[in-house]
Amino acid sequence: MFDPRRVTLVVNGNPVDRMVDSRVHLADFLRRDLKLTGTHLGCEHGVCGACTILVDGASVRACLMLAVQADGRRIDTIESVAGDDGILHPIQEALSRRHGLQCGYCTPGVVMTLLELDRDRDGRSLSEPEIRAALSGNLCRCTGYQGIVDAALDLFGPKNIETSTQPTHGSST
């Protein structure tokens, strides 16, 4: 039943070299093997978005990808987003200001989705429907999405064109 494979990858800027059972999904690998528990599991069938991470810069549901598939890739998780000095990223800051989180369980996935959205918009300002569409893959049972949308509008909305807000590569494991 066990089929250990070797994976080498870069997680939050740090090289990782581990043996992992071939059937382990990437979220479990991050949470259990690397102790990066900020990536949450809400459904393990690819719908809720709580497990959203960036793989080579693109958002991925970590529950739908096997750890072995991450071999040779660059992974960014929620743990890399705030500065090493503890200063929150502007997206995190806006979510707090706009009450875009309550229980915080969906929040890491939301932050990663917004990071990708910010990069993809490439300086262009976004409308509320565009932001809502981009967030439609992240389920949140607490906020009704409004605080999340407002946070994104603050940063990406018509009046504000912020500079790109890519994840920083900080400490991880």
H or E element at residue 53: strand 52-55
Query: Position 87: which residue type?
Result: I
Q: At what angle do helices 107-121 and 90-97 cross, to 10 degrees?
A: 120
Q: Quick one: 6 or 23, whose CB is closer to other proteins? A: 23
**DSSP secondary structure of 92-128:** HHHHHHTT--SS-SSHHHHHHHHHHHHHHHTT----H
Instruction: Report the residue from 40, 59, 65, 76 that binds other proteins according to the rule CB under 8 A.
Output: 40
Please tell me whether residue 30 binds ligand FES under the rule CB under 6 A: no
Instruction: Report the residue from 3, 23, 56, 57 that binds other proteins according to the rule CB under 8 A.
Output: 23
Instruction: Report the residue from 49, 54, 81, 114 that binds ligand FES according to the rule CB under 6 A.
Output: 49
Please tell me whether residue 21 binds other proteins under the rule CB under 8 A: yes
Asked if residues 134 and 148 have their Cβ atoms less than 8 Å apart, the reply is no
Count of positions on this chain that bind ligand FES (CB under 6 A): 23
Asked if residues 126 and 92 have their Cβ atoms less than 8 Å apart, the reply is no
Residue ranges in contact with other proteins by CB under 8 A: 1, 21, 23-24, 31, 35-45, 47-48, 50, 77-79, 81-82, 88, 92, 95-97, 99, 101-108, 111, 128-129, 131-133, 135-149
